[in-house]
């Protein structure tokens, strides 16, 4: 899942040439042809105790033009529910959902990307793969975040590119070219904060195995963990179709 998130928030081009270079480098280093992992997700907000969810994730294809399948394995109520995402370079992604209890697939015709992703603290927008060219950014300087030296950048959506956020602050580790923190603002208010941790080098790609998303206004936190992470695994295109979704392989 971080494969969607990181590029999305990293889609940050800067007015300053060096800022854009930093982001481009980060994106380049994270690039892979396919990905597999098993995810765990927990929402912690004091009031609601949503059950921990587990799923398996497969992705095929390059950044911005990829296809992904996400299949829930736990808890029992959602077991078998699956999502198919086709990302497009030029337009919003197509998404389908399969619900085994009624043997139906449905198109998720989402008209408002700021809505939360199934009760988590992610919004659908946070999960999109989007081109860095859609943003402008600026290098603000250097800061140390959790013991690591980082570049601090500010990104803003380019005119004509809609986003729920007016601007974001991004921290990228100098040593790994990996995102460690993002703070997204609406007007001048901080609305979402994402922290990356547990970095591990898998087949040459430094990947955060823990993500913590905080919805500041709701005072709610979602923690996501990635296990059995692997890149460039052999996957077939035929596994990323609606038919495959229905078969529920």
Sites for other proteins among residues 19-48 (CB under 8 A): 47-48
The residues facing 215 across adjacent strands are 192, 220
Scored b (16 or more CB within 10 A) or e, 166-196 reads: ebbbbbbbeebbbbbbbbbbbeeeebbbbbb
Q: CB-wise, 77 or 175, nearer to other proteins?
A: 77
Q: How many residues bind other proteins (CB under 8 A)?
A: 27
Q: Does 217 bind other proteins (CB under 8 A)?
A: no
Cα–Cα distance list, 16 to 12, 13, 83, 144, 175 (Å): 11, 8, 38, 21, 21
Window of 29-37, 102-110, 152-160, 201-209 that interacts with other proteins by CB under 8 A: 102-110
Q: Does 116 bind other proteins (CB under 8 A)?
A: yes
Contact 224, 196 (CB under 8 A): no
Q: Does 106 bind other proteins (CB under 8 A)?
A: yes
Q: Does 101 bind other proteins (CB under 8 A)?
A: yes
Q: CB-wise, 23 or 68, nearer to other proteins?
A: 68
Contact 2, 191 (CB under 8 A): no
Q: Does 111 bind other proteins (CB under 8 A)?
A: yes
Q: Does 92 bind other proteins (CB under 8 A)?
A: no
Q: How far is the C-alpha of 208 from the C-alpha of 187, rounded, in Å?
A: 29
- Per CB under 8 A, residues contacting other proteins are 47-48, 50-51, 53, 72, 75, 77-78, 80-81, 97, 99-102, 104, 106, 108-112, 115-116, 118-119
């Amino acid at each position: 899942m971080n494969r969607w998130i990181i590029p999305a928030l990293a889609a940050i081009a800067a007015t300053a040439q060096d800022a854009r270079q930093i982001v481009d480098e980060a994106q380049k280093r994270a690039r892979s042809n396919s990905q597999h992992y098993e995810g765990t997700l927990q929402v912690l907000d004091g009031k609601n105790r949503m059950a921990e969810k587990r799923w398996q994730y497969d992705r095929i294809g390059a950044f911005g033009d990829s296809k992904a399948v996400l299949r829930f394995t736990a808890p029992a109520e959602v077991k078998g529910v699956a999502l198919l995402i086709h990302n497009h370079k030029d337009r919003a992604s197509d998404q389908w959902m399969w619900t085994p209890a009624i043997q139906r697939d449905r198109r998720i015709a989402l008209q408002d990307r700021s809505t939360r992703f199934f009760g988590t603290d992610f919004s659908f927008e946070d999960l999109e793969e989007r081109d860095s060219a859609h943003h402008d950014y600026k290098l603000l300087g250097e800061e140390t975040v959790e013991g690591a030296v980082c570049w601090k950048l500010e990104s803003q959506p380019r005119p004509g590119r809609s986003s729920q956020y007016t601007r974001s602050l991004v921290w990228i580790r100098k040593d790994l070219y990996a995102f460690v923190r993002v703070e997204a603002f609406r007007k001048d208010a901080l609305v979402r904060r994402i922290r990356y941790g547990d970095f591990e080098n898998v087949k040459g790609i430094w990947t955060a195995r823990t993500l913590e998303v905080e919805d500041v206004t709701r005072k709610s936190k979602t923690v996501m963990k990635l296990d059995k992470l692997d890149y460039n695994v052999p996957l077939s295109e035929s596994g990323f179709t609606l038919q495959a979704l229905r078969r529920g392989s």
